[in-house]
Structure 1
Amino acid sequence: MASFPEGQEPILLVSSEHTKGYLVFLGHKTRGVTNPYPLDIQQTMIMDRILYIAAKNNIYTVDMDISYKREIYFYTELTWEPTEAKKLKCIMFGNSEAVCHNFVKVLIRKSYNTLFICGTGAFDPSCWNVKVKTLKRMGDRISGKGRCPFNPKDSNVALYGGGYLYSGTASDLRSEDSLIYRSLGPPPSLRTPKQNSKWLKNPKFIHVVDYGSYMYFFFQEVAVEVYVPGELVVSRVARVCKNDMGGTMAFLDQQWTSFVKAQLKCLIPSALNFNFDILQGVTDVVQIQGHDVVFATFTTSEFSIPGSAVCAYDMLEIDKVFSGKFKRQLYQLSMWTPVPENQVPTPRPGSCAGTEPLEQYESSNDFPDNILEFMAKHHLMDEGVSSTGSYPWFLRTMVKNRITKIAVDVSAGPKKNHVVAFLGSQMGMLWKVMDTSGDGAFLSNSVFLEEIDVYNPDKCQYKGTHAKRIVSLQLDKPSGVLYVAFRHCLIKVPLGRCELHGTCKKACITSRDPYCGWVKKSEECTYLRPGDGQKFEQDIEHGNGNGLDDC
């Protein structure tokens, strides 16, 4: 019997002693001028050489091209607090003072010079349009209902596309009405039905991407199609048409006519099919060797063998699943089974009006009743979406430190032909993993390059495991850094730690790090900036140190 796969050990362990010198952002404007509000970072975003940091009661901007010496400072700040009356009302409804603030949960680009922001507002969410550089508010306050959660602990995603805001969140005080919602554009606004478990059941939204004719929502939810003791959480991808105009007064009025969903599978194929069930993070669509791909991080469920994995999904394969068989439950307690093809309307529903196989209809309003009635009751696909190669690209089991966030560089190395993923964990660790297939097989193998102890409790001023959880990762390839956000600080981490190998050629070559190379002229391991023209030696594929002296 084959041994249970535990994954690789890192080539290089980087201790906190080394990373304690990395620059930290704490929400200060200048040295000696402190912020009265402790940071509680919700998300970050990079745009036009500006790093945006959305936190509790504040949004900050950081100029990434400034050379900071001891600490990273902001140059623009928007303070956005709820009124004292709102805070008091929030507390009177039984909430703790800690959550009765304005947690900025939506920070996205709306247009060239406009950002769209939303905050929880002490359980009274609201949104604004603000100017990109100054953060100055424009226009009137916009209701945050359906666009931003009331409770800061609830998950949410949001993205502008085609003149609409697409959001996924809980839309009520009790977090009982979760929805996927399109709004703030030409009518109609569309949503998933209220509290219908066959559409969504206790979802936790992870990411949304705009791709082709569709918006894709990635989330966890409780599976209604599986009967087990307790609740089984599964990972999903759902798809809606961007040109969906809803149904008719008879069926799906002001609701999605194109909403379909499928399970995301990330597993170790075996007799037991060991699953990484819980989706944690998803990238935007990236292109690798002509394939449009998203990477996703998963963890095992709470009562399973502890472990984490990264799986990659080809967007074409996702769409193939959405063209497959539907799944249904005929009666309340019956098993879920595939819908026979002869019981699926013709032309087949689930796609966009004006595109095959529904090209004869200009709008979803024109769909016949049998198509609309079918889509009101059938959303789940029978087949799940398998990862590329039907195996995790990277995995580690039997370790309690689980990965959640992910950022990917798809053009690493001197030939720009390697993929490097940076994985953020619950314990303040950053894992750096590289694809070793290069120009060969597509995402076939990976190597675990580094485990980096990033969190600095002294600089970040908070201790404990909760403070160590990585909230967000933002890759800035031009400056060769990764911005790693925790709740109470943000740390600027170089993509490579070539200085650790110093003048030891063997250590430099065997590190297999695509960002580092042995430069003969200086006789040291050096960070390789794109196009700097230095002559260097590397062995990314094999890390062969034969014939080189030990150091």
Structure 2
Amino acid sequence: MMTMMLMMCSSLVLLGLIGVGASSSGSSSSSPRMKLSYKDLQQFNGVKRFDLERSCCFGALLLDEERGRLFVGARNFLLSLSLDNISKQEQKIYWPAPVDWREECNWAGKDINTDCVNYVKVLHHYNRTHLYACGTGAFHPTCAYVEVGQKLEDHVFRIDPSLVEDGKGRSPYDPRHTSASVLIGDELYAGVATDLMGRDFTIFRSMGQRPSIRTEQHDSRWLNEPKFIAAFGVPESENPDDDKVFFFFRETAVEAQGFGKVTYSRIGQLCRNDMGGQRSLVNKWTTFLKARLVCSVPGNDGTETHFDELRDVFLLQTRDRKNPLIYTVFTTSSSVFQGSAVCLYTMNDIRRAFLGPFAHKEGPNYQWVPFQGKVPYPRPGMCPSKTFGSFESTKGFPDNVIQFARHHPLMFNPVTPLGGRPLFLRTGIPYTFTQITVDRVNAADGHYDVMFIGTDVGSVLKVISVPKGSWSNTELLLEELQVFKDSSSIISMQISSKRQQLYIGSDTGVVQVPLHRCSMYGKACAECCLARDPYCAWDGHTCTRYLPNTKRRFRRQDVRNGDPNALCSGDHQKQRVLEKRLYAVDGSSSFLECIPKSLQAQITWTYQRHPENPREEVRERREAGWGRYAGLL
């Protein structure tokens, strides 16, 4: 709580400013507790930047904590930057498309400078000494093994020309096409367009010892103009034969035919040990299933407002590797309703949808209904393993299982978010969410998942969800940081909990910002408490990084309630923050200004004509700027 006073005797008037700290019960989370411009971040050494002349589109970021490097894929370049300071110690590999490929691309009607170059789109750890990278190669997808050495001291960063290979089915042809891939063991699972025109989209397994496998070709029930967002491997049990790969994408919904082009977001699953069918679905997935991913706000009249366009996915690992949490960013496709949302999903809810009824088209109007007939054994979508059955390979699956899988890839029940609604949403704002990354932070009153949300105007929102009661949470927008001076859209993000840094890519460069700025929350216990930042605590002297394993007598932190009265009551700092005195002449007008450290503090001005008189609230005229008033005296 902060109080400022204006006091004078006889003909002077006492004016007081009372700032009430936002608590979880009565506050609005629409304003950030701290908002910093790019200039502010620069001034306090809060941002480091890397850009590269003659390049752009820094969309592939790969963190390597062991080597202390951030690997970056950009246009015509592979980069190796220092995790401690990305603006220093960079290594570069110039990786352009061959001249004849560029000319061929240009003859096909593509732009020689924007299309007919090599955009590095795929970047994965391959083994202890190499990365695996793929680029568009001027509409000739190409992949390479990048040697990075075994130790940091090796300072190796090069492509072996003899290890460059065809990237079809691994990297998109067109730099505008989205793709998603994950490298598990020595196998690459990729959602990508496999043709020059971008009409044949597939989920494709390549590399490794097992045969290459893909989704059914030119069948809209499997994939219908998909835009791939992310891919992850998740174990199902202790038996590796049950391991599954999940793809997140959005596509034109087949079940919404008759309503025009409607976009649905999806989660698709398949078994890692899928070998395809014996007579049908040869070299095609036999375990591929997909379900709708719903992120919506329930209305009072039973209708739902849908955020239908999936933009990004972050998999937060928990202590149980089989049950990570899935954080997602959605936007709307509506021209009437504009907004963005974060929805959170659990693996239990995802698995429940895939164990539910299959979607089936029947009846005179060919409506989509739950399949009511007998589902063949083994149930489509189950992996061949000793955990759930006796089949050793999908090639041993009966024909009726293969045929059912071929015609029923879609589940009827959608996957709904935890709590049945978005975790965090914004509507009527001049930007949209584009990326998300999450850090699990231990605080004095429990752990908090801190969400860092990138936007299309080059800003990052720092948000936490605080338990409000047994069934509900309240979301707090802690910070809004303008990390790109040119407001370029954020297209990639990586987080290092070890180094407490966030790495952010856009079309114009890469920036690095710390996960917290505790010292900027003010120089008093109350200000530190009002910040409600799980990274920060009052240590008796300053607002500083909270470390759970340290024991300090004066350490104060209360993320859940953020109540400085309870937390800082014994602090001498309290009075210095709470009260200030100013003077004004009775009958005059004065311009009163107060900008609290927390943008969610509630500001009230009071006046007192005589020390013995009670305080009264000033009739004010609110002017531009938070906490600025023209007081009528």
1:309 corresponds, among 312, 320, 341, to: 341
Counting only pairs closer than 5 Å after superposition, residues 162-177 of structure 1 correspond to structure 2 as: 162-177=185-200
Does 492-501 or 505-514 show the bigger shift? 492-501
Output the CA distance in 1 between the equivalents of 2:62 and 2:37. Answer: 27
TM-score by length of 2: 0.78
- Note closer, same or farther for the CA distance 1:410–1:508 as it changes in structure 2 (3 Å cut): same
Which residue does 1:348 correspond to in 2?
A: 379
Structure 2 partner of 1:197? 220
Distance 2:261 2:120 in 1: 31
Q: Distance in 1 between matches of 2:534 and 2:125?
A: 32
Equivalent in the alignment of 1:142: 165
2:526 to 503, 506, 510: 506
Give the distance between the partners of 1:483 and 1:416, measured in 2 at CA: 26
Q: Which of residues 37, 52, 55 is equivalent to 2:71?
A: 52
**For 1:78 and 1:153, how far apart are their aligned partners in 2?**
23
Picking from 212, 217, 230, the partner of 1:207 is 230
Deviation at 1:15, TM superposition (A): 2.6
2:367 corresponds, among 335, 345, 349, to 335
Question: Equivalent residues in 2 for 1:99-118 (5 A)?
Answer: 99-118=115-134
Instruction: Report the 3-state secondary structure (helix = DSSP H, G, I; strand = E; otherwise coil) of the residue aligned with 1:343.
Output: coil
> Which deviates more from structure 2 when the two are superposed, residues 126-135 or residues 251-260?
126-135
Distance 2:365 2:119 in 1: 41
1:121 is matched with 137
**Deviation at residue 531 of structure 1 after TM alignment:** 4.7
Q: 1:471 is paired with a residue of what secondary structure?
A: strand
Q: Does 1:487 align with 2:503?
A: no
Name the CA shift for 1:99/1:269 in 2 (closer, same or farther; >3 Å): same
Q: Do the aligned residues in 2 keep the contact of 1:123 with 1:151 (CA within 8 Å)?
A: yes
Cα–Cα, structure 1 residues 246 and 527, in superposed 2: closer, same or farther, change >3 Å? same
Alpha-carbon contact 2:55-2:74 (below 8 Å) kept: no
Q: Please tell me the residue identity of whatever aligns with 2:133.
A: I
Counterpart contact for 1:288–1:410, Cα < 8 Å: no
Question: Partner of 2:285 in structure 1?
Answer: 256
Equivalent of residue 558 in structure 2, options 539, 543, 549 = 539
User: Secondary structure at 2:283's aligned position in 1?
Assistant: coil
1-structure distance, mates of 2:285, 2:470: 39
Question: Are 1:280 and 2:288 an aligned pair?
Answer: no
For structure 2, the residue ranges without an aligned partner over 5 or more in a row are 1-27, 150-155, 236-242, 579-595, 597-633
Match of 1:24? 48
Relative contact order, higher structure (CA 8 A, sep 6+): 2
CA offsets per residue over residues 225-281 of structure 1, 9 Å max, x none?
Answer: 1134431111100000001010012x1000000000000111112221111111111
Letter in 2 for 1:484: I
The sequence identity of aligned pairs, in percent, is: 32
- Tell me which residue corresponds to 2:146: 130
What's 2:439 paired with? Answer: 409
SS at match of 1:280: strand
Distance 1:258 1:402, change over 3 A: same
Which aligned pairs between 1:422-441 and structure 2 lie closer than 5 A? 422-437=452-467
> 1:237 aligns to what?
267
What corresponds to 2:415 in structure 1?
385
Q: Deviations over 1:459-513 (max 9, x none)?
A: xxxxxx6xx1001111112222111211111111111122322313322110101
Native 8 Å contact 1:393 1:443 kept in 2 = no
Are 2:444 and 2:558, in contact at CA under 8 Å, matched by a contact in 1? no
Q: Deviations over 1:26-71 (max 9, x none)?
A: 34xxxxxxx5423321211111221111101111111223xx5xx7
Post-superposition CA distance 1:140-191 (Å, at most 9, x none): 3211111000001101111111431101111111110100000112232100
Residue 81 (structure 2) pairs with residue 94 (structure 1): no
* Aligned with 1:43 (options 49, 52, 60): 60
Q: 1:254, 1:533 → 2: CA distance?
A: 60
Go from structure 1 to structure 2 and tell me whether the alpha carbon gap of 1:518 and 1:512 turns closer, same or farther (over 3 Å shift): same
What is the CA deviation profile of residues 426-477 of structure 1, one whole-angstrom value per residue up to 9, with x for unaligned ones? 1111111112139x869844322112222113xxxxxxx6xx1001111112
1:308: how far off? 1.1
Q: 1:217 to 1:495 in 2, by over 3 A?
A: same
Q: Which runs of 5+ in 1 are unaligned?
A: 1-5, 28-34, 458-464
Compute the displacement of 1:135 (Å): 3.0
8 Å CA contact 1:209, 1:216 repeated in 2:
yes
How much has 1:81 moved relative to structure 2? 0.4
SS at match of 1:510: helix
Q: 1:289 to 1:360 in 2, by over 3 A?
A: closer
> Considering only aligned residues, what root-mean-square deviation do their CA atoms show, in Å?
2.3
Residue of structure 2 equivalent to 1:223: 253
| Secondary structure at the counterpart of residue 297 of structure 1 | strand
Q: How many residues align?
A: 520
Q: Which residue identity does 2:482 align to in structure 1?
A: D
Q: Report the CA distance between 1:415 and its aligned residue.
A: 6.3
Provide the rounded CA distance (Å) in 1 between the counterparts of 2:135 and 2:472: 39
Change (3 A) 1:303 1:355: farther
Q: Equivalent residue of 2:527, what SS?
A: helix
Whole-angstrom distance in 1 between the partners of 2:364 and 2:159: 50
Whether the aligned pair in 2 keeps the contact of 1:289 and 1:442 (CA below 8 Å) is no
Other structure's SS at 2:196 match: coil
Which of the numbers 391, 400, 408 marks the counterpart of 1:370?
400
Report the AA paired with residue 16 of structure 1. Answer: Y
Q: Secondary structure of 2:341's match?
A: strand
Are 2:161 and 1:161 aligned?
no
